[in-house]
């Protein structure tokens, strides 16, 4: 209960409107979860629950983007009706809340987790240490830690948590922010700099966004451990990945797992066509992943870029399986190092759309 009060106290001080959104959405999702558990054969309950949660996300985060896209059709269709909707205030952490609730409802549907107590779910929805930018923890891992009335205090957790917070602050405040200090002027006025300087700025941003986000994840994991709660790791040296598939298993791991479980697998079940599975599923899933990061076409293009990278990797993997000589050659150290360099270049080029 103390953690719940602390979480809502934090939300009220930082963004009071988020309190109303979190409580309302938590009540709805919890009741929907009870109904899904009680009537497991009625898939419509799960479908309506997920659509409602995503509808709230679309309403707050994407309504302006969708209206702008619809209004742009006037350039192609003469006399197409125009819409003018005032921009809604974006509640803090709405993207992460929505994804956590979708996973909660779906895991109940799949029989992976039981609803549990309402206050446990409310804490799962509002825990201030991971509220703003994740990691996107699963209720399946979170529930056993908080369903006890008291979380035992351990000095080991305190020491580990403090260490992770310090490392995270170093990554964020020392490395990421200082990289930004040097490269941000180049992004703001690129025409004043040569092509090579702009390329260095892109590489610099690749490291800046990693240390920024990885540093925040360290602080979130460490802060949670101070209260005895273990949160999943979110980064595992992603720039040392030899291919784009491994990159997404190491970068923002909680989001990658979410995309795999709740987008890739359901989309893959829609058709057994090889073209659908190899081409369309990765591109659609990653385009939606890009859109989740922000309501702009540049984020969608960034997602498509990574989707096409996954398509190329799947084709390459299929080719290796059919060619034993090629498969043997790819196991050499030089091929591994070449893959790391090529993959880093590919990911870095993609950050241009993201930035």
Taking the CA atoms of residue 127, residue 128, residue 132 and residue 134 in that order, the dihedral angle to the nearest 10 degrees is: -50
Position 333 scores a pLDDT of 87
- The per-residue pLDDT for range 279-308, each reduced to its tens digit, is 999 999 999 999 999 888 999 999 999 999
**Options 46, 191, 252, 293, the catalytic residue:** 293
pLDDT at 77: 63
Measured between alpha carbons, how far is residue 7 from residues 4, 22, 49, 171, 275 in Å? 5, 11, 25, 25, 46
Which residues have C-beta within 8 Å of that of residue 187, sequence separation ≥ 6?
Answer: 201, 205, 355
Q: How confident is the model at residue 138 (pLDDT cuts 50, 70, 90)?
A: very high
| pLDDT tens per residue across span 303-312 | 999 999 999 9
The confidence band for 170, taking pLDDT boundaries of 50, 70 and 90, is: very high
Q: What is the mean pLDDT of the chain?
A: 89
In this prediction, residues 72-90 reach a mean pLDDT of 62
Q: Could you tell me the pTM of the whole model? A: 0.89
Q: Find out whether 219 and 235 touch, Cβ atoms under 8 Å.
A: no
Q: How many CB atoms lie within 10 A of CB 114?
A: 13
For residues 177-190, give the mean pLDDT: 93
**41 or 84, which is more confident?**
41
- Taking residues 109-123, what's their average pLDDT? 91
Q: Note whether 264 and 281 are within 8 A (CB).
A: yes
Mean pLDDT lowest among 186-195, 201-210, 247-256, 327-336: 327-336
Tokens for 314, please give them.
């799947």
What's the gap between Cα 23 and its chain centre?
22
Q: Is the dihedral of CA 11, 176, 98, 51 positive or negative?
A: positive
- In this predicted structure, the answer to whether residue 213 has a pLDDT above a threshold of 80 is yes
Query: What mean pLDDT do residues 12-16 have?
Result: 79
Asked whether the predicted pLDDT for residue 48 surpasses 80, the reply is yes
Whether 306 is a known active-site residue: answer no
Cα-Cα end-to-end distance for the chain? 40
Residue 211 has pLDDT above 90, yes or no: yes
CA distances to 60, 83, 126, 266, 271 from 56, rounded to whole Å, are: 6, 20, 16, 21, 29
3-state secondary structure of 337: helix
């Amino acid at each position: 209960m103390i953690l719940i009060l602390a979480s809502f106290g934090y939300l009220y001080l930082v963004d009071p409107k988020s309190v109303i959104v979190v409580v309302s959405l938590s009540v709805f999702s919890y009741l929907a979860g009870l109904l899904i558990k009680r009537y497991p054969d009625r898939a419509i309950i799960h479908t309506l629950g997920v659509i409602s949660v995503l509808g709230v996300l679309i309403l707050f985060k994407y309504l302006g983007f969708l209206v702008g896209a619809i209004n742009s059709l006037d350039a192609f269709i003469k006399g197409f009706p125009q819409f003018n909707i005032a921009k809604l205030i974006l509640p803090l952490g709405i993207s992460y809340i929505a994804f956590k609730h979708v996973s909660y409802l779906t895991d109940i549907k799949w029989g992976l987790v039981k609803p549990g107590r309402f206050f446990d779910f409310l804490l799962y929805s509002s825990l201030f240490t991971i509220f703003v930018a994740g990691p996107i923890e699963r209720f399946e891992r979170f529930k056993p830690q908080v369903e006890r009335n008291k979380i035992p205090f351990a000095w080991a957790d305190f020491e580990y948590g403090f260490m992770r917070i310090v490392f995270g602050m170093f990554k964020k405040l020392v490395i990421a922010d200082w990289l930004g200090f040097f490269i941000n002027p180049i992004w703001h006025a690129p025409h004043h700099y040569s092509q090579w300087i702009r390329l260095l700025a892109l590489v610099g941003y690749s490291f800046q966004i990693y240390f920024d986000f990885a540093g925040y994840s360290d602080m979130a994991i460490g802060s949670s451990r101070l209260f005895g709660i273990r949160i999943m790791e979110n980064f595992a040296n992603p720039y040392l990945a030899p291919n784009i598939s491994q990159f997404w298993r190491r970068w923002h791991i909680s989001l990658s797992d979410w995309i795999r479980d709740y987008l890739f697998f359901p989309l893959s079940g829609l058709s057994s066509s090889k073209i659908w599975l190899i081409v369309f599923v990765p591109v659609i899933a990653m385009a939606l992943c890009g859109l989740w990061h922000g309501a702009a076409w540049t984020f969608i293009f960034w997602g498509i870029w990574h989707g096409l990278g996954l398509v190329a990797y799947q084709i390459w993997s299929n080719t290796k399986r059919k060619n034993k000589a090629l498969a043997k050659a790819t196991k050499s150290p030089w091929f591994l190092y070449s893959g790391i360099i090529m993959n880093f270049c590919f990911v870095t080029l993609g950050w241009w759309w993201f930035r």
